[in-house]
Amino acid sequence: MRSARTPPALAALAAASVAGRSLLGRTPGARVLRLGVDPDAPGPAKDAPWHARDAGFDLHAGRIVRADDRAGLERLCHYLLRPPLAQERLELFPDGRVGLTLAHPWADGTRALVFDPVEFLEKLAVLIPKPRINLVVYHGLC
């Protein structure tokens, strides 16, 4: 996770974010509060075609855009270049906590996340791109 250019604090924030835990705030090390969790929900399909999961990473390789499909390429670019959070899905609660409604429920039934203000800021800090680093890498045949 940590490279020579990644400051230790940012590497720790990224590790906590990937693990779904809080590094700072009122309860360091605690899991982020999830709303709508169903402990009996089935996990994601292990044998989905063109989809691989390993070591916490997902690879979705089922999207194909032909070279002459300009409309399809534009839709894919709009999807890839969208902002990380939609403001319509953020909510500030009276007690100061921040709620984020998910666009689609997760496999375990989670439909929203609730953060303390410091937890929310630590999750946002991880999303800030480092200078001169490509965030999107394209691979393909053609």
Residue-wise pLDDT for 123-132, tens only, equals: 888 887 777 7
Please tell me the predicted confidence (pLDDT) of residue 5.
63
pLDDT tens-place string over residues 87-105? 899 999 999 999 999 988 8
User: How far, in Å, are 52, 96, 114 from residue 118 at the CA level?
Assistant: 33, 10, 12
pLDDT of the residue at 41: 65
Q: List pLDDT tens digits, range 27-73.
A: 888 888 888 877 666 655 666 677 777 776 777 777 788 989 999 99
Percent with pLDDT over 70 in the chain: 82
Residue boundaries of the structural domains of the chain: 8-42+83-127
